[in-house]
Amino acid sequence: MEHLPVEVIGNILSRLGAARDVVIASSTCRKWREAWRNHLYTLTFNSNDWPLYHELTRSRLEIIVTQTIFQTNGLQCLSILMDDVDEFSAAPVIAWLMYTRETLRELHYNVRTTPNINILEKCGRQRLEVLDLAHNTITGVEPSYQKFPCLRSLSLSYVSVSALDLSLFLTACPKVEVLSLVSLDIVMSDPQASMELSTNSLKDIYVEAISLDKIVLEADSLEKLQLKDCTLEVFELVSKGKLRLLKIDDVSVIHLDIGESAENLEIVDVSNFTIMWSKFHHMIAKSSKLRRLRLWGVVFDDDDEVVDIETISACFPQLSHLSLNYELREAAVQYGLQGSFQLENVVVLELGWTVISDLFSQWVAGLLGRCPNLRKLVIHGVVSETKTHEECHTLAKFTSFIVRLMRKYLKIDVQFEYD
């Protein structure tokens, strides 16, 4: 070990991550202390890494963090994740940011301070590429002054910000490609809770636990759109058709419009969502490159609606992975499998139930017959803790049916996943 260059030792210390581990390891000898001072590029203060963090006073914690950071030169990645310990004084936190900001490429910042710190003012106009900000407030954004010319990834969680300031913030990040917005407290000056975001560089957006009347996203380069646990009246995407992934999970939305962005879709994953099938299908019907389609736990807006598998076969010829789980009615089996179509390229089929019935067996058999090149079948089911005799009988009949059925399809790998 004594022959290792200090640069390599610095690399080793950086991979430790946790500040306490770095301090202990660097006390090995003079050479390791030199590596800590001059060649450490990653440092993490996480209150979950060391139980004693929760027992120290605020002033003692501030001293420990200050001494550790100020003994380094050239930090590129700094993580301060200590919001559940105590509120810090603003002065030492400002000192940490000012000391490191000229070399930082990544900042993961989850610190409650008194008073609140304008993080954009302290870190703007630098070479920051990743900013992960949580439990803070953003106010008074000035894009002409608080520019982030190198920022490529921005994550905001439990942040209080107005719709206007968020829009201005994106304007100040001309190269941002990845955006994550989780549980934001959107401050509204307008009676209608709406938000308009515009960016030419954005490729990937994730939105979770946000309630608004309207979101309009103008993003010509967007490739991935993910919405989770949101309540919206309107969501509109204005883009130039580069969208490859659309994922919707437990979202309540009255009007969903992705415009002309469906032509290059490769993955559509919809779960715990109420849909009007005809309208939803029309939205993605031009996605001739679609490879994966997942409709899981969806509820139809109209009781008479069924998913027409023949139409899926015709519109999505490249489909290779199909996952379906919704309430089965006789019409879904009878009309959903009409015609002589084949799902030629489907190699993985996932089917599930919430309430098992004899219809499920018919549905499985019907779909298997339409997938001549299937390699894998996964059956998902829900088995309640308290089972009636009838439920046990139905499950036993289904198991026997699958055993008999799969004798016809010996080359297919069958898996069962029960909750």
How do residues 145-186 score in pLDDT, each as one tens digit? 889 999 999 999 999 999 999 999 999 999 999 999 999 999
pLDDT tens, position by position, 72-82: 999 999 999 98
Question: Comparing C-alpha atoms, which of 111, 166, 110, 112 is closest to residue 139?
Answer: 166
pLDDT at 330 over 80: no
On whether residue 119 sits in a domain, the answer given is no
- On whether both 99 and 156 belong to a single domain, the answer is no
**Residue 77: Cβ-neighbour burial (10 angstroms; 0-12, 13-18, 19+):** buried
Instruction: Give the integer Cα–Cα distance in Å for 125 and 144.
Output: 10
Q: Tell me, what amino acid is at 253?
A: V
The pTM (predicted TM-score) of the whole model is: 0.91
pLDDT tens, position by position, 32-73: 888 889 999 999 999 888 888 888 888 999 999 999 999 999
On whether residue 112 sits in a domain, the answer given is no
- On whether both 255 and 284 belong to a single domain, the answer is no
- On whether both 339 and 245 belong to a single domain, the answer is no
Q: How confident is the model at residue 328 (pLDDT cuts 50, 70, 90)?
A: confident
pLDDT at 1 over 60: no
pLDDT at 245 over 60: yes
- On whether both 281 and 250 belong to a single domain, the answer is no
On whether residue 156 sits in a domain, the answer given is yes
In this prediction, residue 101 carries a pLDDT of 92
- On whether both 295 and 360 belong to a single domain, the answer is yes
Cβ 219 vs Cβ 171: under 8 Å: no
| Number of domains into which the chain is organized | 3
**Region of poorest pLDDT, from 1-5, 10-14, 56-60, 398-402:** 1-5
- What is the percent of the chain where pLDDT is above 90? 58
Could you give the maximum distance between any two Cα atoms of the chain, in Å?
78
- On whether both 259 and 281 belong to a single domain, the answer is no
- On whether both 225 and 327 belong to a single domain, the answer is no
In this prediction, residue 259 carries a pLDDT of 81
pLDDT tens, position by position, 102-146: 999 999 999 889 898 888 888 888 899 999 999 999 998 988 888
pLDDT tens, position by position, 264-289: 999 999 999 988 888 888 899 889 99
Q: How confident is the model at residue 306 (pLDDT cuts 50, 70, 90)?
A: confident
Question: What are the backbone angles phi and psi of residue 283, rounded to the nearest 5°?
Answer: -65, -35
Q: How confident is the model at residue 190 (pLDDT cuts 50, 70, 90)?
A: low
Q: List CB contacts of 233: < 8 A, sequence separation 6 or more.
A: 212, 213, 214, 253, 254, 255
DSSP state of 87: P
pLDDT at 23 over 80: yes
What average pLDDT does the structure give for the chain? 90
On whether residue 410 sits in a domain, the answer given is yes
- On whether both 317 and 245 belong to a single domain, the answer is no
- On whether both 404 and 291 belong to a single domain, the answer is yes
Cβ 66 vs Cβ 117: under 8 Å: no
Tally Cβ neighbours within 10 Å of residue 152.
17
- On whether both 156 and 252 belong to a single domain, the answer is yes
On whether residue 167 sits in a domain, the answer given is yes
Torsion from C-alpha of 14, 19, 25, 31, nearest 10 degrees: 60
Question: Comparing C-alpha atoms, which of 371, 364, 418, 365 is closest to residue 391?
Answer: 418
In this prediction, residue 13 carries a pLDDT of 87
Tally Cβ neighbours within 10 Å of residue 215.
24
Instruction: Tokens 């936190």: give the residue.
Output: 93
- On whether both 219 and 299 belong to a single domain, the answer is no
- The more confidently predicted of residues 384 and 20 is 20
Token reading at 333: 């089996």
Chosen domain end from 263, 288, 319 = 263
Show the domain range for 206: 135-263
Chosen domain end from 263, 287, 309 = 263
pLDDT at 335 over 70: no
Chosen domain end from 66, 83, 105 = 105
In this prediction, residue 237 carries a pLDDT of 95
- On whether both 233 and 323 belong to a single domain, the answer is no
In this prediction, residue 412 carries a pLDDT of 94
**Region of poorest pLDDT, from 46-55, 219-228, 319-328:** 46-55
In this prediction, residue 129 carries a pLDDT of 97
Instruction: Give the integer Cα–Cα distance in Å for 353 and 314.
Output: 25
On whether residue 122 sits in a domain, the answer given is no
On whether residue 161 sits in a domain, the answer given is yes
